[in-house]
Amino acid sequence: MPDEKQKQEIKQDKKPEKKGKKAEKCLLWSLFGVASICLAILGVFSVNRKADYEKRQISEAEYAQMWDEVFGECKKLFSNGYAKEETTKKELQTCYDDLGNLKGVGHASVQYEVIEYAISYKEFRFNLEEEYRVFDTKPIDELSAVVSLEEKDLEAFDGPYLESAKPIVDDMRTRMNNIENAQKAVAGLFENGEVPESVNRDDYNAAREAADRVSREDVRSKLDEDLAKADGVISERERIAWEKAEAERLAREAAERERQARIAAAWHYVNVEYISQNHEKVLNGCEVASLLMALKYKGQMRDTSLQQIADAIPKTNDPYEGFYLDIYGVEPRDVSHWVDSRPLTEFGRDFSGYMDIYDLKGQSLDSIATEIMDDNPVVIWLTYDFKEPYNWSDTSKMYKNLHVMVLSGYNSETRQFRVTDPWTRNDGTYIFTLEWDTVAHLYEKMGSRAVVVR
C-alpha cells in the first residue's frame, strides 16, 4: 500500500486533471449562452419583420380609413390644394409631423409634398411681410436688392399663393420706383447745385408730382427741401418775367390806343343823307339813289325825291345811252338793270344843273381815295354784298349782281373804305367798312366805273 507521502503525490497529480475538466465545462456553457442570445435576436427580428409586413399590408388595405382619421383635420387647413390664408405655419407643421409615418404610402407622399409647399409659402410670406414692414426703414441703396430677391422668391409659387403675395411685392417695387423716379426728377432740376435757366414751372410740377408719390418720410423730407429751393428760384424768375411781360403788355396797349387814335383821326367821312331804294320801291334805282345822295351832300337838289330822279333818267335799250330795262321792277330777273357811268354823269348835270359831276371811269383807286379825302362823295359800281361777280349777260353787257353805292369815307391809316349802300338790309344796316383789296378787286371786275360829285 502506498504510504502517506505517495498518497500526497498521487493527490497532487490528480488536481490539474480536475481543473482541466472544469474549464472545459465552463466553455461549453458559454458557447450555449451566446447561441441562445443570437437565436433570441433572430427570433425578435423575424417577429418584427412579420409585424412590419403585416403593418404595411394594413396601411395599403385600409389607407382610406387611416387618411380620414389622421388627415381629417389637415384637410381643413386647405382649399383647392392650397393652404388657406388664415392657416398658420404651426398648424401646417403639426400636420406635416402627423403625416410623417405616411410618407411614401400610396398618394400620401403627394399630399406630403403639398404640405411642404404650403409650409415653404408660409415661411416666404412671413419673411415677405417682415421685409414689407421695415421696407421704409432700409437704406435706399439696399431697396433694389431686397425687391429683386422677393420677386425671385415669388417665382416659386403659383395660384392663390402668387395672387396673395404678388400685390405686396408689386407695392414694394412701386415704392422703390417712386423713390427712384422722384429722386431723378428732382435731381433734373439742378445742375451743379443750381437751377438752370432751362428749367421751368412745368419741370418743377412734374418733379413735385413724382415726390408726392413717395411714401417714405425721410426721402420725402429731402425731396421737399430740394423742391423748395427750386421753387424759390423759379418763382423769382416768374416774378421777373411777369413784370417784364406786364410792362410789355402795357406798352402794347398804349401803342394800340395810339394806333386806334391815329386810325380814328385818319378817317374822313362824307356823311351823305341816306336814301333807301328798296324802302322807296325803286328796286333797280341804285345808280340814281347814290347820285342823289352825293348831290344832296353838296347842297344840290335838296327837295328832290328818289321817285322824281328815277322818273327823270332816260330809259333806253342800251345801258351806255341811258337806263336799261326797268328801274322800278325786277323783271327780267336773269339780267342786270343798269346804266353806265358816262350817261349817268351827263344826266346828273342836265337834271341838277350842277356841273361839278365827273366820270372817273378807268381812274385809279388811289385817285378815288383822294377824292374822298377832299370831301367829295364818289358813286362806285361794285356788287351786291360784295360777292364775286357772276352771271355775265351779253345782252345787258353786265354781271347779274351789279350794285352801285356811295364811297362815303376813307381811312388813310388803314386804307379802308366806308360805303353807304342804298339797299337797306333787313336788320336796317346800310353802312359797311371794306378793305382796300376788296374794293380794288370788285372795282376792276365791274369795269372801273365811278362818278364823283365835287
CB 77 within 8 A of CB 92: yes
Give the mean pLDDT of 32-43.
45
Query: Looking at residue 210, what is its pLDDT?
Result: 97
Query: DSSP for 30-93?
Result: HHHHHHHHHHHHHHHHHHHHHHHHHHHHHHHHTHHHHHHHHHHHHHTTEETTEE-TT--HHHHH
Give the mean pLDDT of 231-241.
96
Q: In what helix (H) or strand (E) does residue 169 lie, and over which residues does it extend? A: helix 159-187
CB 122 within 8 A of CB 88: yes
Q: Check pLDDT > 60 for residue 18.
A: no
Give the mean pLDDT of 218-233.
96
Query: Looking at residue 98, what is its pLDDT?
Result: 78
> If one looks up domain 270-453 in CATH, what number appears?
3.90.70.10
CB 96 within 8 A of CB 116: yes
Question: Mean pLDDT over all residues of the chain?
Answer: 87
Give the mean pLDDT of 222-230.
97
CB 175 within 8 A of CB 216: yes
Q: Check pLDDT > 60 for residue 372.
A: yes
Distances from the Cα of 278 to the Cα of 309, 313, 330, 422, 440, angstroms: 15, 18, 12, 8, 26
Query: Looking at residue 288, what is its pLDDT?
Result: 98
Query: Looking at residue 13, what is its pLDDT?
Result: 46
CB 387 within 8 A of CB 242: no
Model confidence at 52, pLDDT cuts 50, 70, 90, reads very low
CB 294 within 8 A of CB 439: no
Query: Looking at residue 82, what is its pLDDT?
Result: 94
Give bridge partners of residue 399 from the DSSP assignment.
392
Q: Check pLDDT > 90 for residue 95.
A: no
Q: Check pLDDT > 60 for residue 325.
A: yes
Give the mean pLDDT of 426-436.
98
Give the mean pLDDT of 234-253.
96
Peptide bond into 332 cis (omega under 30): yes
Give the integer Cα–Cα distance in Å for 25 and 334.
163
CB 223 within 8 A of CB 211: yes
Query: Looking at residue 68, what is its pLDDT?
Result: 63
Q: For the purposes of burial, counting CB atoms within 10 Å of the CB of 2, is it exposed (0-12), middle (13-18) or buried (19 or more)? A: exposed
The conformation of residue 325, written as its DSSP 8-state character, comes to: S
Query: Looking at residue 69, what is its pLDDT?
Result: 67
* 56-70, 124-138, 351-365: the lowest-pLDDT one: 56-70
CB 423 within 8 A of CB 278: yes
Which residues fall within 8 angstroms of residue 383, CB to CB, at 6 or more apart? 389, 399, 401, 402, 403, 442, 445, 446
Q: Check pLDDT > 60 for residue 274.
A: yes
Helix (H, G, I), strand (E, B) or coil at 260: helix
Query: Looking at residue 99, what is its pLDDT?
Result: 74
Give the mean pLDDT of 279-286.
98
Model confidence at 101, pLDDT cuts 50, 70, 90, reads low
Share of residues in the chain with pLDDT > 90 (%):
78
Give the integer Cα–Cα distance in Å for 340 and 322.
8
Which range among 9-18, 27-36, 343-352 has the greatest average pLDDT?
343-352
- Which cell goes with 135? 421696407
How many of the other CB atoms lie within 10 Å of CB of 369? Answer: 20
Model confidence at 67, pLDDT cuts 50, 70, 90, reads low
Q: Check pLDDT > 90 for residue 53.
A: no
Query: Looking at residue 107, what is its pLDDT?
Result: 47
* pLDDT tens digits, 167-223: 999 999 999 999 999 999 999 999 999 999 999 999 999 999 999 999 999 999 999
